[in-house]
């Protein structure tokens, strides 16, 4: 754990300036919370675009090139100044970040979304992150969840079961495969969440660590013909849409905001973003993608939302009267 990752927020425990001058200042916790709320909106756009890709003139490789390429172009000067710090990152945490939010995650989320719905992407991918993060923390020697946290994790599992139960009974192989692929994507994102806490990089450096190798891999797969591309023949509107949502939104803005929130709040509390994302996706999918929420969605999404909120509650420490 790096010193920056475990440090208390700036100003914690320090007296306020005389004369009440500090009353108008926004606390670091509030800034981090605002970053999470903005990330929710961007992730909702990611979930919608994952579903919309199947009806787009773009292919998954094209969307990936925009997702990882645009941040590199925008941040190129800043990344060059951080090249030595990037080269010093340990292989373990680097692998968590590159695999957790890079090409494996992106292709899994896009493929899973093409087989299911935007509601599935928005509920399963961020919704299951607290469960996977908790498992990684326990495997790393941290204490196991207890109390309301355990109840929240059980509700998350119940919500996912409610989402897929109907398709299990009907043996809808496509939806089940898509849901399973989204679970893999969620597990990968949990790796990314934990990996961000283990590197001594600022948010810009974290984006560079993710996008540089990811863009190189996806470009190599396209050039060798492993992944097909239709970018040259794609409609201009589709290119602009995915450039804004995936490249600037998810790749740049969400990357900066989420990395900042991780450093301020930690991986467990930051994953509370999933408690709002499923609801936002379901509401936005109705007017934008003409998706009507089914009964499994109406049952599963509230269970997952409640579960994530409970899973991210922290028990209050008891303070003695003499303290």
Residue-wise pLDDT tens digits, 277-313: 778 888 888 887 888 888 888 898 888 888 887 876 6
The C-alpha atoms of residue 49 and residue 37 are separated, in whole angstroms, by 19
**Cα dihedral: 178, 118, 40, 73 (round 10):** 80
**C-beta neighbour count of 264 within 10 angstroms:** 20
Residue whose token pair is 């398709």: 167
Mean pLDDT by 10 residues, the chain (323 residues): 38 42 63 80 81 86 93 94 93 93 92 88 85 83 77 89 84 88 93 87 90 95 92 90 88 80 69 68 82 86 85 56 41
Residues with Cβ within 8 Å of 138's Cβ and at least 6 positions away in sequence, in order, are: 144, 145
Query: pTM for this one?
Result: 0.76
Digit-coded pLDDT (tens) for 12-50: 344 444 444 444 466 777 787 788 778 878 878 888 888
């Amino acid at each position: 754990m790096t010193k920056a990752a475990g440090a208390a927020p700036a100003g914690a425990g320090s007296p306020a300036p005389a004369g009440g001058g500090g009353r108008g200042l926004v606390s670091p916790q509030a800034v981090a919370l605002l970053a999470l709320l903005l990330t929710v909106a961007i992730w909702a756009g990611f979930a919608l675009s994952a579903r919309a890709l199947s009806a787009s003139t773009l292919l998954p490789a094209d969307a990936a090139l925009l997702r990882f390429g645009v941040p590199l172009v925008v941040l190129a000067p800043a990344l060059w100044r951080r090249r030595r710090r990037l080269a010093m990152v340990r292989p373990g945490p680097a692998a968590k970040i590159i695999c957790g939010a890079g090409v494996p995650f992106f292709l899994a989320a896009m493929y899973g979304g093409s087989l299911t719905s935007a509601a599935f992407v928005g509920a399963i991918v961020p919704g299951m992150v607290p469960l996977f993060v908790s498992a990684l923390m326990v495997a790393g020697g941290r204490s196991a969840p207890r109390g309301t946290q355990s109840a929240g994790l059980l509700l998350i599992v119940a919500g996912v079961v409610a989402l897929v139960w109907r398709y299990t009974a009907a043996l809808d192989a496509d939806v089940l495969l898509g849901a399973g692929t989204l679970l893999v994507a969620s597990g990968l994102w949990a790796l990314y969440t934990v990996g961000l806490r283990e590197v001594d990089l600022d948010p810009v450096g974290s984006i560079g660590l993710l996008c540089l190798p990811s863009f190189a891999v996806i470009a190599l797969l396209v050039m060798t013909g492993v992944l097909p591309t239709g970018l040259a023949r794609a409609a201009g509107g589709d290119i602009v849409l995915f450039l804004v949502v995936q490249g600037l939104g998810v790749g740049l803005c969400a990357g900066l905001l989420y990395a900042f929130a991780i450093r301020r709040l930690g991986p467990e509390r930051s994953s509370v973003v999933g408690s709002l994302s499923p609801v936002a996706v379901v509401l936005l999918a109705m007017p934008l993608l003409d998706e009507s929420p089914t009964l499994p969605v109406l049952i599963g999404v509230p269970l997952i939302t409640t579960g994530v909120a409970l899973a991210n509650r922290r028990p209050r420490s008891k303070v003695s009267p003499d303290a």
